[in-house]
Structure 1
Amino acid sequence: MRAWLLIACLVSLPAMAEVFTYIDAQGNRVFTDQPGARNAKRVPLATSNRMSANPSGAAPMTAAKTNPTKPLFHYDMLRVLVPEPDATIRSSAGELIVSITSEPGLQRGHRYRLLLDGQPTAEPGPSPVFALSNIDRGSHNLSVEILDEQGHTVERTANQPFHMLRISLAQKRQVKPCTLTDYGQRPECPLKDKPEEEKSAFLPFF
């Protein structure tokens, strides 16, 4: 037991200290750092491989290297060009052409997707122009997204309102009343109500 205690003491000595050993009068081996002991012999020690917990100038070690996820591409600008915000569209068929733009231009693998009132209007694609039809009359919101290869949203605009004014046939007829060529062709323009054509004042001279 005493020998083990002595070995433990040796381990705790500084790395550059010298150790000597000898046999005492009771026949026990003794280890000491005093070279003057009786017939003491120097004990060769192996070089220590211990390091400080955080040596100065050394970068801290990490348990494992992690692969950071690639950040999504950022567009400086994305907006709806046509129609303008709060525009009023007049169309009897509820038709609308939407044009969008981005800065920088659409990146490789990215696609535009147009949303009407929060719902996609068509499959995403590279074209910045969308043709819509049969839009209900009233106020609506447009927004556009840019999707990457995995279908993740890279950019999205805020909702942009517009107003669809669908002109009915009756409204068209009110705008354009009966003319001479319409009589007999439209129910509200019977032939009996067709006004007489004005005669030219120059005809008697020919």
Structure 2
Amino acid sequence: MFVRLLPLLLTLCAGSAPAEIYTYIDSQGNRVFTDQHRAGAKAVPLPPVNRLSLTPASPPPAPTAPTKPKVQPIVHYQMLRILVPDPDATIRSTEGNLIVSVTSEPGLMPSHAYRLLLDGKPTAAPGSSPVFALNNIDRGSHQLAVEILDEQGRIVERTANQPFHMVRISLAQKRQANPCQLADYGQRPECPLADKPVEESSSILPFL
């Protein structure tokens, strides 16, 4: 039975469309399958044939390289310098305070910022103001420098280090250099009212 069935199955696999299959019982009592119709044979219902496409699958798309963010070119300034204090200036302050002002040519661009450095360290966050107020600077010599940063934090311009000298005068030294007068008490920090001498009251003896 299987010998007779094998050629039939090969024929079905090679054909482009399914053929009609019939079955019957032969004289020896065996069931026979054939594609030839004969008297007493019954048609065998067949399931639909699945067809496979021979078109090769398209290759997967090549991975695209990540796009790099555009880096803006650095715009340079013609001039950047510290206006106040002067180079190698001596600053006299009891509290160690100092006002620093800077300028640039052209003026600061909208996306840029100034940053002041004292002895190589930033004194505050970058900003657009060209004036910086420093407080409680130690006695001795120091270095000032100013930078211009762009929106990406890159240094666009930087000045050379500019020295200055802080002299912190005590109140006693101020009084010694400029003695307090009666009108100075309560007006000058080194001349507090508590130290004001008591005025001598003049007594007028009655004329007898």
Q: Deviations over 1:31-72 (max 9, x none)?
A: xxxxxxxxxxxxxxxxxxxxxxxxxxxxxxxxxxx9995431
Aligned residue for 1:152?
154
Aligned residue for 1:117?
119
Aligned residue for 1:131?
133
TM-score (norm 2): 0.55
Compared with structure 1, are the counterparts of its residues 90 and 148 closer, same or farther at alpha carbon in structure 2 (3 Å cutoff)?
A: same
Q: Deviations over 1:99-142 (max 9, x none)?
A: 00001111121000000000000000000000111001111010
The secondary structure found in structure 2 opposite 1:125 is: coil
Q: How many residues align?
A: 128
Compared with structure 1, are the counterparts of its residues 68 and 149 closer, same or farther at alpha carbon in structure 2 (3 Å cutoff)?
A: closer
Aligned residue for 1:29?
none
Alignment of 1:23-172 (within 5 A): 70-172=72-174
Compared with structure 1, are the counterparts of its residues 123 and 68 closer, same or farther at alpha carbon in structure 2 (3 Å cutoff)?
A: closer
Unaligned runs of 5+ residues in structure 2 are 1-67, 186-190, 203-208
Compared with structure 1, are the counterparts of its residues 103 and 197 closer, same or farther at alpha carbon in structure 2 (3 Å cutoff)?
A: farther
| Identical pairs, percent | 68
Q: Deviations over 1:155-182 (max 9, x none)?
A: 1000000111111011012023354566
Q: How large is the Cα RMSD of the aligned pairs?
A: 2.9
Compared with structure 1, are the counterparts of its residues 68 and 120 closer, same or farther at alpha carbon in structure 2 (3 Å cutoff)?
A: closer
Compared with structure 1, are the counterparts of its residues 197 and 167 closer, same or farther at alpha carbon in structure 2 (3 Å cutoff)?
A: farther
Aligned residue for 2:50?
none
Unaligned runs of 5+ residues in structure 1 are 1-65, 199-206
Q: Which has the larger radius of gyration?
A: 2
Compared with structure 1, are the counterparts of its residues 125 and 68 closer, same or farther at alpha carbon in structure 2 (3 Å cutoff)?
A: closer
